[in-house]
Structure 1
């Protein structure tokens, strides 16, 4: 018996050893190069051929940086400059514009001796890396996912690319370095990054709270001469980024493969029998490239398997030969390959409409030397489409997923000020969006098309993505700038093609647009439109994200219907009484599809001190402001922060403490976002959607966000979460009726709606219930409250609740009403008592999750209850709450859940801090 065991173990060892040797022989690797050194050409006079040698020594100190990293990010990390995110630190860093530096005396801060502008010359990035001897004879590709603005590359003393070949912020570059790589030894890489061709001239800095409107893109919009992140010169929500984000802003990889490589794979999915979705047909096309002078014959193998659900994999293979030093286009359709027909497919649905089911495809090319190349990516089985309808002279754009119309709710997503984001951060932000019941994230045209990790997260969380190309009316001539910009059309076109290749397989991508509130010149407009049709062809293209810009006569419009965009920006961007949004929605017009509106939305108190690092009141300004607020966007521009502030004071009373000020601003946030989304929702089948300007922030900011730069949601986030939940009860503020909204594709079943009206001291003034049953997507009014509220001439609460046949609460909602919008009586509410009980605690590999029961044990309404997940006195961010800033009627109880990344909680014991407008704080320790 012992002998048999020994034999088995020996066989297993030999098998594993041989398998490992085979895997090493045929391994395909893609190594991320991260550890670089950085220095300015002002200080380094050596040539690239010298810097890119392994024995290079410099008499100048080089700064260690982690790539991806812009130059400014690297210098901040090395403490050469302070963090521009904080306070007024950005005014301690010189700008890329000489004229601007002189205006603000920023030249004094240049770290380069006798050079007032440290950004005028290129910067060098240098690294060394080893390549195994076993990889001798392999094909090596150096992949740059994104540089800004131009680059020249040297490997082991030889130049691979120059600054005419690598230009623009949005193109991906794959450089063949097979002849230059030394297998079995040390290798050196030097990258020379050039600044923007035209740095752009920023507008005057926002150095005053309640200061003037910032001219987006600067006074002339000349940043638009480049193909870059246009907002890096400053917008009314982001200050100028001093180096304009020059650098290596996306990862760099060294890819090792065999002689034949796979590139540009595209997988198209079709549901040919809609509305029947029982059969899906797939089509695959890709390019095989032979890098040698010998014809290669091999086999292309394809495996398709479920990614996030249990199911059966399918596979097939086909022999394919590729001539020497050439490429071959390879394609398969379901008519040719039975395995590309999927019966009963698990479809990818947007958030709120179903599960975001994903599949993974593996592609492998094998020749007589083993595996030459393989690649894999995730996709979803789904179709998207669009139509337009004329509504009283306004074209409304409608979108469809899997043959069903979807109502879009979400908003614009903007890049970090210094494009500092990683895969974890993208996951956190997209998870926050999903948790808010957002189903659409818009990539705004003045920002960047985000890295792959963003798209992967959007796919996972079921978030549709609306992707603008890099055009805005503020730089391309609609408002200012020029249609002649960007100056190098070829750089723009190359970036368009590269971006389509990169993101076209993501199921989250819903629509391409030709830019934001403006059009590129004709040849660039058609470069976008025609390449989307030719290289993608599976999703719509609309001319721009705006109703402002009209296409010139004779230009073709949206694809495929050749109509206008059918979406409208223009705000309002300032805080409005909820009744105003109902007037806009009822009038229709540009609210048939509103793709930009929003309100100033200040963070809660616990992150406010991080946004405005100096909270000392300047008594020349309204309490508690100082001019640091202005730099973090408290201005009188489109956001009209001054009106936001004065409306808060007139409604809720003058604050006397910073905490009170912050709490009252959260009441403004909640009612503002509630008004936007409920006004749109009550016209659910008559509008295409409503989108915020904006969801997030580029730096710590006090305006236009549902969660802040620190990932802290404000009360408006939870107002949106509630207002766009799948089945929702609400009070319509145009006709004072209670309405139930069904956003799903399924019937609601039998529901009971309940309406209660309470006085300030929680005396019951009205109670009524009614039955409701919606068979499909739509709305229904179930009871009028106007006669009731017309007889109440005092402050009151309207509390709504919707329960199913089992008595489970499906939706709850609370409003506070007062004659003449005088909500100051809230300041005198009697206290309520809460009891919080932990129901369930789950420790996960990636996330921890907790369920709590919160009960109002008193005879008073518990108003604006806010639970926070805490570790060692600090709130865990992000935290994903099922509800927050909610209210409980006397004796009412509710169950709430919260989850957070396990890494954010760590080994410490978390707790939940429960507070509220009129409740005593309690700290509940979690198991």
Structure 2
């Protein structure tokens, strides 16, 4: 018999909606979590019967926590193995019949008469109670995201069908007032339909070094749907077997009065830039009357600081609404003086200032009490863009609050089975901020993320570049067809819904028509027009690649009608830093490079979790086997092969798996340092540089600065250092040290010092220069080192330090060099040690933080020092270090801090494990739980 699942679980904040208790009948929003799941292949009842509280099932239904895709639910119930691990995905049938036959996957279907368990719909079912006191109230059932189609029944009544609910990126607000039983039990049944066209994946990545992967499958036919295109497989993610069909975002029951507040739009205007002393706000919303009597009420608006102290602003307006009608409300600073905010606290992106946030609360009250009550967070800021021709290339630049921002970030890809929750989004956005990332790009073949992502981006000052769901691999730029998606109306409806959902977030910087391609003209025009008409507050560019040219006569970027001015195309393999400097000097597509990167293996800490069978297949390069291939070593075989061979050439053949991992971290550090320092070298002449990519969809060995387990690799800290607001760096192409100021304010007087050490830690040369200073952002070359390095023999270390007028080190950087890049002498670097002193500890409700000083009191250089925060015998992930994988010259010290979520500390006293290339391990106790 079916387990009786039910109930309401908790009040929830979603899209800023808050529960309220200012009247006997409060506005409530309840998250429905506990559902049962089963295939329609086994369930013979239909929606009217399944959505009754009396339904008794002859078959077992599996309990699932929504949000949950079907495959997520089946894995949680141990029907299928965890596809994130090892080669488990090859033990799960695919949504493509042809693919199943080719790989003999039909044998694994859990349905006795269905070799493909994803062809028929699945049912989600739950029951819930509604208090008797809510009789006469208005009820809405809100689905924040389903995939791919859905039909809904409540208490035997059909509320929506699969023609109304289609596409992965729309949310659905269903009126269930006439179906809900107030004062009793209620039943909800949701029929989830699979993708109309499941897509045919490329060949599986079953070789550690194999052919280049066919992104989106050989024909790109997944593009016939409006869905997560990469669910059919890409060169960094295997096919998701059910294509993520299911209820992938939360479901809410919302209880209000007769009038509801809809589609609020808040615009902040700094009309007198550069003067920011006054911000003028405008507010638009719709009030809908769901009753057959006129409503005479009052709209109350309250604005107060969210993350800083300050007095709230409040005002009210009388608004009358006809029976069964609606009223559009439009308020601005010319009509309401309170909407002119004096001395506003501006929202600034990471690295340019504080991400100040306000909360606006909207309440509509009638004689019967509060009818509706909603709130959301916003930031006061303006964004804009311009395109400038540089040679034969258009360069795109972006501005926030009138100040130019140099974009440093990368592409963001979805979790393989869209399983991220609000805590995970917070951790990842915090990791991005800690790495000095200021831009996260939502890649067009993935998903527009849930509200929790945007809330975290707002909080951490992460600008977001949002592609719509178009790629050249499915819409005809490379393969696929411009006729896809087949149902343009679904695409347009999903676009419209997405704009309404996320347009109030200050983090959203720019809309993009797609990834390396375009939708067909009627969809392209509809998307562009919707962005202008429904938002109109931020730029739009046609594509994430300037190489994808718009056909003649198509409208370009908005508002300047120019081309995109940004360029993908890599390189995606490991490059010597000199290469990046040469590219930046030439300009070309590096005037704004929005996709480049390198294979970036995680540290040994998480390698065994990613590759559970760490046994070398001796027919392959050390240390590979085919599990490496499945976890992305095979996807760009040439890139990974180059990555390994360059490591062996520079640092020598690794002796062990640990040694291999350590040498790969050297490759990561040098590679990412080269990318971002080369772009910084041309700071004022380029719009930005972005990685392919920042994060991982599953445990992976390529293209990431932190892995699926939230473990940063050395490249993460190289990026953190390279794009710090004030930075000293070394141009390996011309052997010049330079200072980079990314800030829009004066630096004061600075001094720079460069030292050169040999492999025995003997100081060969020292150079200093003082009286450096900047009034605004810019670069200055300060010390020429070419002649001194020519005279050096073997491996040399270049140690750079930048200090302020008080003598405090504000930037520290180290390079290791050798003629012909023969760095094998590093294998014999003399051992040394560092002394660690804990300077302080801070205990917080959400995070704990420690500050410590590491000092090299010896005459030997301490190379590639890696402290780790440890609890219960494992590294705490995430941990937010202010610096890591650093090198200390003899008698040099560094002060670093680390923080971590309290929830990840396990209630124990953590310790710090200090390791390094030439250090013995040492453990350091910390001062607070």
TM-score grouping bracket, smaller chain normalisation: over 0.9
Question: What is the DSSP-based 3-state SS (H/G/I as helix, E as strand, rest coil) of the residue aligned with 1:25?
Answer: coil
Distance 2:616 2:407 in 1: 41
Question: Which residue number in structure 2 is paired with residue 917 of structure 1?
Answer: 917
Question: Which residue number in structure 1 is paired with residue 768 of structure 2?
Answer: 769
User: 2:118, 2:242 within 8 Å by CA — same for their partners in 1?
Assistant: yes
User: 2:25, 2:133 within 8 Å by CA — same for their partners in 1?
Assistant: no
**2:297 corresponds to 1:301:** no
Stretches of structure 1 that go unaligned for 5 or more consecutive residues are: 1-19
Distance 1:284 1:843 in 2: 40
* Paired residues for 1:838-849 under 5 Å: 838-849=838-849
Question: Which residue number in structure 1 is paired with residue 6 of structure 2?
Answer: none
User: 1:444, 1:468 within 8 Å by CA — same for their partners in 2?
Assistant: yes
Q: CA deviation at 1:734?
A: 2.1
Deviations along 1:91-127, one digit per CA (max 9) or x if unpaired, are 0000000000000000000000021000000000000
Question: Which residue number in structure 2 is paired with residue 810 of structure 1?
Answer: 810
Q: Which moved more, 1:683-692 or 1:542-551?
A: 542-551
* Paired residues for 1:696-707 under 5 Å: 696-707=695-706
* Paired residues for 1:347-358 under 5 Å: 347-358=346-357
Q: CA deviation at 1:56?
A: 0.5
Deviations along 1:778-801, one digit per CA (max 9) or x if unpaired, are 000011111111122321000000
* Paired residues for 1:442-453 under 5 Å: 442-453=441-452
Distance 1:586 1:386 in 2: 23
Deviations along 1:346-397, one digit per CA (max 9) or x if unpaired, are 0000000000000000000000100000100000000000000000010000
Q: CA deviation at 1:22?
A: 7.2
Distance 1:891 1:403 in 2: 44
Question: Which residue number in structure 2 is paired with residue 403 of structure 1?
Answer: 402
Question: Which residue number in structure 1 is paired with residue 791 of structure 2?
Answer: 791
Distance 2:635 2:221 in 1: 24
Question: Which residue number in structure 2 is paired with residue 165 of structure 1?
Answer: 164
Question: Which residue number in structure 2 is paired with residue 379 of structure 1?
Answer: 378
**2:534 corresponds to 1:557:** no
Distance 2:644 2:787 in 1: 33
Question: What is the DSSP-based 3-state SS (H/G/I as helix, E as strand, rest coil) of the residue aligned with 1:141?
Answer: strand
Question: Which residue number in structure 2 is paired with residue 730 of structure 1?
Answer: 729
Q: Which moved more, 1:845-854 or 1:615-624?
A: 615-624
* Paired residues for 1:356-505 under 5 Å: 356-505=355-504
Distance 1:226 1:546 in 2: 22
Distance 2:403 2:437 in 1: 18
Distance 1:480 1:226 in 2: 15
**2:850 corresponds to 1:850:** yes
Q: CA deviation at 1:640?
A: 1.1
Q: CA deviation at 1:906?
A: 2.9
User: 2:467, 2:511 within 8 Å by CA — same for their partners in 1?
Assistant: yes
Q: CA deviation at 1:312?
A: 1.3
Question: Which residue number in structure 2 is paired with residue 836 of structure 1?
Answer: 836
Deviations along 1:879-913, one digit per CA (max 9) or x if unpaired, are 00000000001011111100000111132110000
Q: CA deviation at 1:659?
A: 0.4
Question: What is the DSSP-based 3-state SS (H/G/I as helix, E as strand, rest coil) of the residue aligned with 2:633?
Answer: coil
Deviations along 1:623-671, one digit per CA (max 9) or x if unpaired, are 2111110000102627610110111011100001010000000000000
User: 1:599, 1:639 within 8 Å by CA — same for their partners in 2?
Assistant: no
Q: CA deviation at 1:711?
A: 0.1
Q: CA deviation at 1:339?
A: 0.2
Question: What is the DSSP-based 3-state SS (H/G/I as helix, E as strand, rest coil) of the residue aligned with 2:825?
Answer: helix
Deviations along 1:257-315, one digit per CA (max 9) or x if unpaired, are 00000010010000010011111100000010000111111000000011100111111
* Paired residues for 1:194-273 under 5 Å: 194-273=193-272
Distance 1:501 1:712 in 2: 35
Question: Which residue number in structure 2 is paired with residue 624 of structure 1?
Answer: 623
User: 2:629, 2:635 within 8 Å by CA — same for their partners in 1?
Assistant: no
Question: Which residue number in structure 1 is paired with residue 677 of structure 2?
Answer: 678
Question: What is the DSSP-based 3-state SS (H/G/I as helix, E as strand, rest coil) of the residue aligned with 1:633?
Answer: helix
Q: CA deviation at 1:324?
A: 1.2
Distance 2:556 2:865 in 1: 49
Displaced runs of 4 or more, over 6 A: none
**TM-score, normalisation: structure 2:** 0.97
Q: CA deviation at 1:26?
A: 3.0
Question: Which residue number in structure 2 is paired with residue 318 of structure 1?
Answer: 317
Question: Which residue number in structure 2 is paired with residue 95 of structure 1?
Answer: 94
Q: CA deviation at 1:747?
A: 1.0
Question: What is the DSSP-based 3-state SS (H/G/I as helix, E as strand, rest coil) of the residue aligned with 2:854?
Answer: strand
User: 1:574, 1:638 within 8 Å by CA — same for their partners in 2?
Assistant: no
Question: Which residue number in structure 1 is paired with residue 747 of structure 2?
Answer: 748
Question: Which residue number in structure 1 is paired with residue 609 of structure 2?
Answer: 610
Distance 2:439 2:414 in 1: 16
User: 1:408, 1:691 within 8 Å by CA — same for their partners in 2?
Assistant: yes
Question: Which residue number in structure 1 is paired with residue 5 of structure 2?
Answer: none
Q: Which moved more, 1:23-32 or 1:247-256?
A: 23-32
Distance 1:179 1:212 in 2: 57
Q: CA deviation at 1:318?
A: 0.5
Distance 1:549 1:638 in 2: 25
Question: What is the DSSP-based 3-state SS (H/G/I as helix, E as strand, rest coil) of the residue aligned with 1:268?
Answer: strand
Query: CA 1:21–1:488 in 2, change beyond 3 Å: closer, same or farther?
Result: closer
Distance 1:22 1:93 in 2: 48
**2:178 corresponds to 1:179:** yes
* Paired residues for 1:325-336 under 5 Å: 325-336=324-335
Q: CA deviation at 1:557?
A: 0.3
Question: Which residue number in structure 1 is paired with residue 49 of structure 2?
Answer: 50
Question: Which residue number in structure 2 is paired with residue 17 of structure 1?
Answer: none
User: 1:76, 1:83 within 8 Å by CA — same for their partners in 2?
Assistant: yes
How many positions carry a matched residue from both structures?
A: 908
**TM-score, normalisation: structure 1:** 0.97
Question: What is the DSSP-based 3-state SS (H/G/I as helix, E as strand, rest coil) of the residue aligned with 1:762?
Answer: coil
Distance 1:885 1:494 in 2: 48
User: 1:296, 1:367 within 8 Å by CA — same for their partners in 2?
Assistant: yes
Distance 1:674 1:247 in 2: 41
Distance 1:902 1:147 in 2: 33
Distance 1:612 1:549 in 2: 37
User: 1:800, 1:814 within 8 Å by CA — same for their partners in 2?
Assistant: yes
Query: CA 1:198–1:332 in 2, change beyond 3 Å: closer, same or farther?
Result: same
Deviations along 1:182-202, one digit per CA (max 9) or x if unpaired, are 000000000000000000000
Query: CA 1:320–1:114 in 2, change beyond 3 Å: closer, same or farther?
Result: same
Question: Which residue number in structure 1 is paired with residue 876 of structure 2?
Answer: 876
Q: CA deviation at 1:925?
A: 1.4
Q: Which moved more, 1:308-317 or 1:382-391?
A: 308-317
Question: Which residue number in structure 1 is paired with residue 819 of structure 2?
Answer: 819
User: 1:635, 1:642 within 8 Å by CA — same for their partners in 2?
Assistant: no
* Paired residues for 1:24-43 under 5 Å: 25-43=24-42
Distance 1:659 1:653 in 2: 14
Distance 2:378 2:233 in 1: 36
Distance 1:666 1:823 in 2: 14
Distance 1:635 1:194 in 2: 33
Question: What is the DSSP-based 3-state SS (H/G/I as helix, E as strand, rest coil) of the residue aligned with 2:844?
Answer: coil
Query: CA 1:632–1:796 in 2, change beyond 3 Å: closer, same or farther?
Result: same
Question: Which residue number in structure 2 is paired with residue 190 of structure 1?
Answer: 189
Distance 1:544 1:290 in 2: 41
Question: What is the DSSP-based 3-state SS (H/G/I as helix, E as strand, rest coil) of the residue aligned with 1:607?
Answer: helix
Question: What is the DSSP-based 3-state SS (H/G/I as helix, E as strand, rest coil) of the residue aligned with 1:640?
Answer: helix
Distance 2:666 2:249 in 1: 40
Question: What is the DSSP-based 3-state SS (H/G/I as helix, E as strand, rest coil) of the residue aligned with 1:354?
Answer: coil
User: 1:858, 1:890 within 8 Å by CA — same for their partners in 2?
Assistant: yes
Q: CA deviation at 1:24?
A: 5.3
Q: CA deviation at 1:436?
A: 0.1
Deviations along 1:401-451, one digit per CA (max 9) or x if unpaired, are 001110000000000000001000000000000000000000000000000
User: 1:639, 1:703 within 8 Å by CA — same for their partners in 2?
Assistant: no
